[in-house]
Structure 1
Amino acid sequence: MQDTTENAGVPRLLDAPAFVDGRGSLGVLEGAALPFDIARIYYLYDVPIGAVRGEHGHKRLHQLMICMHGQTEITLNDGNQQYPFTLSTPGQVLYVPPGMWRRLRFVMPETVVCVLASRPYEVDDYIYEYEDFLTWVRQGKKQQD
């Protein structure tokens, strides 16, 4: 998995190493190659087509999002710029740094999205209202948290 520290605050797609032969594909994510240590793994599934998940921001949480099956459209926003992504293969992993508002729209049936997170669930890390997120960004809290 390719990652560079100069892009630490920028969301981006990373290629996940895979081993492919006649038996299928084996995707591999190893700790030393990840941009953070994993503290939690969760996954989204049985989401109706067209439904939206996310719609919140995180102050400190780093995430890697993997579409294991199906397709999802993800829009990230840092308060100044939007970053649109489409995930439809487990061979690409989306790195989401802290300080991003996220919106996931599920566009295919039976889509499964797996998320690797840098921290356990912490209610005070979430920002649920977009206006509160923009205020947090404008106040420079993004650099402090």
Structure 2
Amino acid sequence: MEIKIINIPKIEDPRGNLSVIESDVIPYEIKRVYYLYDVPSGAERGGHSHKEQQELLVALSGSFDVVLNDGDDEKVVTLNKPFEGLLITSGIWRELKNFSSGAVCLVVASDIYIEEDYIRDFDTFIKSKFNDKR
């Protein structure tokens, strides 16, 4: 499964820490940045895969779980540190669950929003991975 925890540089200061995401931190040009917040208790986000786009997910505040599936294996990664990001390459199904109160999920994407890049149905995702051989 092509995922990776990325350490985001952290500049420590008694007045508060600062972290920076620049081109040397992630392996793609940043084309879009968005964030999820005020996610109600029990709600889930994600539930899709991308054909081309890559994303870095960061828990800026609080915590949440990212359930990842590449068609063969499933893995759960808990994000809860603002200086660590989860790099998800294309072709990985993702679901975001178990948001803590006040959680904020930052997403740094390799492309602008293109609806055709999304696979939003899990069965279609599996078929796309295995060309109907399952």
Q: TM-score range by the shorter chain?
A: over 0.9
For normalisation by structure 2, the TM-score amounts to 0.93
1:93 pairs, out of 81, 85, 93, with 85
What is the letter of the counterpart of residue 11 of structure 1?
I
1:104 pairs, out of 88, 96, 114, with 96
The CA distance in 2 between the partners of 1:40 and 1:33, in whole Å, is 15
1:120 corresponds to: 112
Q: Percent identity?
A: 36
Question: Going by fraction, where is helix more abundant, 1 or 2?
Answer: 1
| Preserved contact between residue 53 and residue 110 of structure 2 (Cα < 8 Å) | yes
| Preserved contact between residue 48 and residue 106 of structure 1 (Cα < 8 Å) | no
The CA distance in 1 between the partners of 2:22 and 2:48, in whole Å, is 28
The CA distance in 2 between the partners of 1:107 and 1:120, in whole Å, is 25
1:136 pairs, out of 109, 128, 131, with 128
1:67 pairs, out of 55, 59, 73, with 59
The CA distance in 2 between the partners of 1:49 and 1:13, in whole Å, is 26
For normalisation by structure 1, the TM-score amounts to 0.87
What is the letter of the counterpart of residue 94 of structure 2?
R
The CA distance in 1 between the partners of 2:99 and 2:91, in whole Å, is 25
- What is the aligned residue count? 132
| Structure 2 segments unaligned to the other structure (5+ residues) | none
What is the letter of the counterpart of residue 128 of structure 2?
W
Report how far residue 55 of structure 1 moved: 0.6
Structure 1 runs of 4+ off > 4 angstroms?
A: none
Residues 1:17 and 2:9 aligned together: yes
The CA distance in 2 between the partners of 1:63 and 1:96, in whole Å, is 5
Report how far residue 32 of structure 1 moved: 2.8
The CA distance in 1 between the partners of 2:127 and 2:48, in whole Å, is 14
2:48 corresponds to: 56
